[in-house]
Structure 1
């Protein structure tokens, strides 16, 4: 399906004028605005200011390059911005960028040469450019003292003084959507060097991905590539145990295998933390979890701290009230989170747990393997949408929580939704492992879950975007035919890339795109896969090989999806995997418990388990593995020394500069301070 979209785009790109296509690629259009077609016969002389014409004029006034494209049903405005326009917008936004000396300072366009450029030579990253575009296009306001009457196909709209123009047009449903569009030159380069490059199995152009998509998507693919590369060792070990008949030694080799697997998992995540910190340093990102929430409760702005006079006056004022406000807000937030967590846990116990146990019991009572396979497929397909409902309920619950920033809200959502998926993915298998105690049935269930879940997930990921895209195209062509009457009307077709991109679906999460994008589902798939192969590693060691092969194809499939099936995603600033790292760590601890049970439950020739080693063996094995888990995590430091040294140097130099500036301000305001003290 991805190949059909690629072939369609390449075929339709030559329907227009060749010279126009070359000129179009030289200008990097990065934003698209969807506006309605203008009905010319309804707009006569003296009719007033047309909304679209006024919008184009305002875009031109602020320095944007505008290209108007006529589509089948709507018109499209493609926007590009020269670097000086983006630089002035960045200065107004007070963006902080890395300088040549390694210190993050507020950007100034007149001093642009002092700031480090991106790996592709551009001054701003895609995330920074996107913020600048939004600041420019949504910053157009009515500066006159009276309202301006706008016209749109015989509709009168009053543009009030001080009101943003684009927001007003979106509210009136005149501007249907504002979305980022693909840069065809960079998209084709990424297709060649990344998505269609099957020779480098796990190596990916992370710098180019970061330049084009932003930090969050680049971090995901860096994690996926490293995870897939590290899977080679457990995959080879698991295949060796499956293919080589060790006889009575099999029971002794399995404990060694799982000890190696736990050590592998611990070292992998420690080395991932090192790589993540290296990526942050290489991408010039200063990432702080609570940076935007430090002054959440203050009624002052950041500029207040630049005034030494105001600082001295307000020190010690209303400290008791401020302390009470902090404490009240703190406990209120904690109680809201506790209430929401309780709702999710009770819903799992009362609604989902009986459903999971009923499926597991029904699976054991069925004798036909074909019917079992079909039951598993129906179960996974239905539970997918059942869990999505729980995810949407979690989104509504999080709206009541007063989290510090969007990252904390997203992490809270991840924990709640993964709790639902954790139950639906593993409770049935644990039921088979603990109650039925049949190793052959357990292996069969694991194989079916891995195959069906991965196939179903890949089928849904690749088919749904194509179906949505094809359906929207079909509706547009059908509506165009209905409007054009007469037998001589030619067949409508798409003559612009921006219109085809508009019909493509948004890269959003299955639970909604308010807090998370499509990477939520990608990380969820990896987490569920990791839990499956780790929690039941001793029952089916070749599962690691299956996961490695699946991830090799997942890298290219996800790349093709992003480049061909979806619109260009809105960039997000998060440059770590966030809450998913804690989830992976949690799965390692759970896998130690589950595999200890599997290891001490020795089975006879009939496949029935015999719990003869006793509880002592469980406790000994569990304590040893937990010691490995928490002991080995201290061996590998989470941050390379050179990254730590650069970060400390950056913080020290920034502190020295701020201290000197503060002393200058205090020295300049000494006279006022003395006057105020005398009056007191």
Structure 2
């Protein structure tokens, strides 16, 4: 426990390869001993563990160490007046704390750990000679010791550790809390995993709660015989689910903004900081510098415009490549599967065919994902988030064709709604069960294989000598063998949330676009998501390493995909209603068809019009933002007046 009341747990680990036993450990120039001494000098708490697969250096940081590192790094943090200012350890009381009372978020602590451990450099006036396992290497002046050890292969990995106290608390209050179906300790999740993962679970919980309303409506339609009113109940259900989806996403935006306000993320008044920077630089410029600056701005503007249009053309080219690959390669494969499913007579063979298809399509989509990652590298995307969004759009196109073309085939070409309902049930059951099985079994199998390999190697080194059995006795070596939270494709650009959001988006499209054909589908989705909350929690807390934090504060490109699926749902369900009510199979403009077309236009109006009736941020968030903007304006105005006054005195 640190002086200011914050618990200090081991949160980072450095992995060092096992050395030969005959060489021993230690020595005046041993690089590991040198690194440990420097880490302790930097204020970190260090514990060395010799495990079966490797040697580990566990690191913890008192709050004072992190605070002084944040000041050295000139980290910007939110203050109680709503402005982000440079952190000062002596003025720590002025900075907003996290919901759990800690000073720094997990993302900030992770960055500070990296700053501290990679900031250990050779401060001598000459090259530093170090040794590891009998091999010598040198570290140049002002070179990072840890990076040099990584380049030489003497450090295998640096990864975050689970905090056992907080992890067990989350297991008890979250993963094993089956009685509260959708409740989650979002603030604790945010403090432990960071903004992006907390935002995902907040979205998943809200989405699941809202699913109970259409699930109840669909269950009532399944159990109650409405008689002659049945023709009116189905359109009413259609209008209800579209309105439900529109309002859900509007209220999600409100909740997202409220979460960010509570976490102190959406108060970054960068525009005022930019104004202050520009005005202060303006007061320091003379006439000649201003002219040069104007010329530089013109050149920079031309370059930015050129890069903007070049990036747009590159994205269009890459999107065309992906679309052609979908049409020429994936579409025939999907239609062939749909046709085989149609002509297959027994249900058992259909389930086997569906399972085989889902296994086979995984390889195709992974190849498409790898191709998308390669194409994105040649785009002029601005930052990692822009690249990740481009990857999301491209890969979702592959999965969109994979998930829905067979359903369109049964619904539109053959107009076989009995088969369509069976396919929907099988897709939900097989795909969801298969996805959950893969999500939880693959990490366990990877861990078991790595564990067996490490233990077998240790036994082989011992030979036939009798001794204690080889076991993984420490938590850090077990975590080292666990797989990381990574996406199945595009690990360079996104983490495992890519797969989790993709699963939600595909489910949302399936239940929305074919709702009129099978209203009970919402019940299956709600039950699946209740289970998904707990399985995803167990996956993150037990099966995988602690994820590296990411700063994304919204669901990003996935929101646009969900909005696109709502528009698609309006179109497809209108077509389904036409097919259901046109018993003779003839496309005739009748009053019923005209009513459906009118309903389609009304729903599109609801989609694009009702969103303006629900504000995207709550009133208290907007009021706080306005107050903080006014305070920031006052501060910037005072700084500007001081700059102008000092400039006038200089000219006099």
The alignment status of 1:363 with 2:341, answered yes or no, reads yes
Question: Per the alignment, in what secondary structure is the counterpart of residue 448 of structure 2?
Answer: helix
Gap regions ≥5 residues in structure 1 = 1-24, 296-301, 676-680
Number of the residue aligned with 1:375: 353
Segments of 5+ residues of structure 2 without an aligned counterpart are 1-5
Which sits farther off after the overlay, 78-87 or 363-372? 363-372
User: Is 1:452 paired with 2:452?
Assistant: no
Match of 2:20 in 1: 39
Among 215, 232, 238, which residue is 2:195 paired with?
215
1:288–1:521 Cα change, 3 Å: farther
Q: After the TM superposition, which of the residue ranges 307-316 and 217-226 deviates more from structure 2? A: 307-316
Matched, 1:58 2:23: no
SS at match of 1:602: helix
2:539 partner SS:
helix
Q: Deviations over 1:523-561 (max 9, x none)?
A: 111100000000000000000000000011111111111
Checking the alignment, whether the CA contact within 8 Å between 1:49 and 1:151 is kept in structure 2 is yes
Deviations 1:479-517 (A, max 9, x none): 010001234122101111011010111011111322111
> For residues 40-94 of structure 1, what are the alpha-carbon distances to aligned partners after superposition, in whole Å with 9 as ceiling and x for unaligned?
533699x761111111111111111100001013110000111111011112222
Q: Summarize the alignment of residues 431-580 of structure 1 with structure 2, pairs less than 5 Å apart.
A: 431-580=409-558
Which shows bigger deviation, 404-413 or 457-466? 404-413
Deviations 1:160-189 (A, max 9, x none): 112111111111111111000011111111
Distance (Å, rounded) in 2 between the aligned partners of 1:483 and 1:219: 47
CA–CA distance in structure 2, aligned partners of residues 90 and 154 of structure 1: 37
- Describe the shift of the 1:609–1:374 C-alpha distance in structure 2 as closer, same or farther (beyond 3 A): farther
Q: Partner of 1:21 in structure 2? A: none
Q: Does 1:138 align with 2:110?
A: no
Residue 612 of structure 1: how far off its partner (Å): 4.6
Residue equivalent to 2:385? 407
Superposed counterparts of 1:221-236, under 5 Å:
221-236=201-216
What secondary structure is seen at the aligned counterpart in 2 of 1:632? helix
**Correspondence for 2:148:** 168
| Residue-by-residue CA offset, 1:548-602 (whole Å, 9 max, x unaligned) | 0001111111111111111111111111111111111100000000000001113
1:198 to 178, 190, 195: 178
Cα distance in 2 for partners of 1:147, 1:41 equals: 28
Deviates more, 1:582-591 or 1:392-401: 392-401
SS of alignment partner, residue 178 of structure 2: coil
What pairs up with 1:97-116 in 2 under 5 angstroms? 97-116=77-96
Does 2:648 align with 1:667? no
The alignment partner of 1:157 has SS state of strand
Residue 279 of structure 1 is matched in structure 2 by 259
Shift of 1:143: 1.9
Which residue is 1:155 aligned to? 135
Residue 101 of structure 1 deviates from its aligned partner by 2.5
Q: How many residues align?
A: 640
**What is the TM-score with the length of structure 1 in the denominator?**
0.90
Work out whether 1:187 is the aligned partner of 2:167.
yes
Structure 1 residues 40 and 379: CA distance shift in structure 2, 3 A: closer
Give a deviation string over 1:432-485, Cα, whole Å, max 9, x none.
111111111111111111111101100100100100011110001000100012
Task: Kindly indicate whether the alpha-carbon contact (under 8 Å) linking 2:83 and 2:267 is maintained by their aligned counterparts in 1.
Answer: no
TM-score for both structures, normalised by structure 2 = 0.94
- Which of 237, 247, 264 aligns to 2:217? It is 237
Tell whether the 8 Å contact from 1:304 to 1:310 is kept in structure 2 after alignment. Answer: no
CA distance in 1, matches of 2:563, 2:105: 32
Q: Is the 8 A contact 1:32 1:79 kept in 2?
A: yes
RMSD: 2.3
Q: Is the 8 A contact 1:600 1:613 kept in 2?
A: no
Q: Is the 8 A contact 2:251 2:614 kept in 1?
A: yes
SS in 2 for 1:105: strand
Secondary structure at the residue paired with 2:472? coil
- Contact 2:77–2:86 at 8 Å: present in 1 too? yes
**Corresponding residue for residue 386 of structure 1:** 364
- Residue in structure 2 matching 1:426, options 394, 404, 410: 404
Report the equivalent of 1:396.
374
Between the aligned partners of 1:306 and 1:129, the Cα distance in structure 2 is 31
Deviation at 1:287, TM superposition (A): 6.9
1:118 aligns with 2:98: yes
Q: Distance in 2 between matches of 1:619 and 1:166?
A: 66
Distance in 2, matches of 1:604 and 1:316, equals 68
CA distance in 2: counterparts of 1:44 and 1:60, whole angstroms: 19
Deviation at 1:343, TM superposition (A): 1.2
Contact 1:602–1:610 (Cα < 8 Å) also in 2: no
74-83 or 148-157, which deviates more: 148-157
Moved more, 498-507 or 359-368: 359-368
Cα distance in 2 for residues equivalent to 1:44 and 1:623: 76
- Determine if contact 1:141/1:165 at 8 Å carries over to the other structure: yes
Asked whether the equivalents of residues 84 and 268 of structure 2 are also in contact (C-alpha less than 8 Å), the reply is no
